[in-house]
Amino acid sequence: MIHSIELRHLLPIVFKGMEDSERIRTSQIWEVPSFVFAKGCRICIHAESGCGKSSLLSFIYGNRSDYSGKILFNGKDTKKFRVQQWCDVRTKSIALLPQEMRLFPELTVMQNIRLKNDITGHKSEEEILELLERMGIKDKKEEAAGRLSIGQQQRAALVRAVCQPFDFIFLDEPVSHLDEKNNRIAAKIIEEEADMQSAGIVSTSVGNNLLLHGSKYIML
């Protein structure tokens, strides 16, 4: 279980040499001596395009390591994690909804969701169908993911993201293609799932925020 994620002097390699720029100096995350995501937190990270939101989530998720500084899970440096440790993190501790969703377009919505749920065994078939129904895409469950609209894909990817136990869920612009009604439904589902596990929710946005209660807004 991960209680805390601490960022120490974290900076993408591409921002090297720009430490004194306005953007880095005003950032509440980049180059900060210590920034901590605590379990149970509700944080919404605001940033303009190109500020490194997706990079930040990739660094935390172990997908990229082109950064300086340190990322510590429960005080342990993640750069020293081995393959199996990362796979455990990704199936037991940290859920991620990437901005590009990463659905397999040739597989159906259900097949996509099962690919995740099969390794975690977290949800029953009925629970998955109920989530799809609440998201309003139950009738698309046998449709190839590539044939859905972006908004529908976003909702399918969101259901997939919660098909695992987690201490933190990171959502990269989760509602960028959702209307307000669906935004509220998505926010409610994520909150319910997080509350059940006392997990933290970290979302990013360039404008269209996930409508969560009591979120702390910070600037990247």
Partner 1 sequence: MNSRFHSDKNIWSLLKRNVSKGQLMGYVLSNALGLTVVLTGMMFYLDSSHSSDKNDSFFSKDYVVVSKKVNGVGFSPVSFGKDEIDRLEQQPWVKRTGRFTSSRFAVNGAVDIGGRGLSTYMFFESVPDDFFDIKPRDWKFDPAERFVPIILCKDYMALYNFGFAAPQGLPQISEELACAIPIKLRVSGNNMMSETFDAAIVGFSSRLNTIAVPQDFMDWANERYAPGAETNPSRLIVEIDRLAAADMSKYLDKENMEIGGDMSGDGNISKFLSTASAVVTANGIIICALAIFILVLSIFLLLQKSRQKLHHLMLLGYTPAEVGAYYERLVVTANTIVTLAATTATLLLRQTWETPLKEIGLGEASVIPMLACSMLYLLAVTAVNIRIIRHHMTLIWNNG
Contact residues toward partner 1 (CB under 8 A) are 61, 63-64, 83-84, 87, 90-91, 96, 98, 102, 104, 106-107, 111, 114-121, 164
* Minimal distance, residue 196 CB to partner 1, in Å: 20
* Minimal distance, residue 146 CB to partner 1, in Å: 12
Element (H, E) at 6: strand 4-12
Q: Which is nearer to partner 1, 20 or 142 (CB)?
A: 142
* Minimal distance, residue 61 CB to partner 1, in Å: 7
DSSP string, 178-220: --HHHHHHHHHHHHHHHHHTT-EEEEEESS-----TTPEEEE-
Count CB neighbours of 42 within 10 A. Answer: 16
Element (H, E) at 82: none
Q: Which is nearer to partner 1, 148 or 187 (CB)?
A: 148
Q: Which is nearer to partner 1, 23 or 114 (CB)?
A: 114
Residue 82 structure tokens:
């081995």
> E-strand spans in 64-191?
67-73, 76-77, 94-97, 168-172
Residue 9 structure tokens:
């002097």
Q: Which is nearer to partner 1, 39 or 90 (CB)?
A: 90
* Minimal distance, residue 58 CB to partner 1, in Å: 9
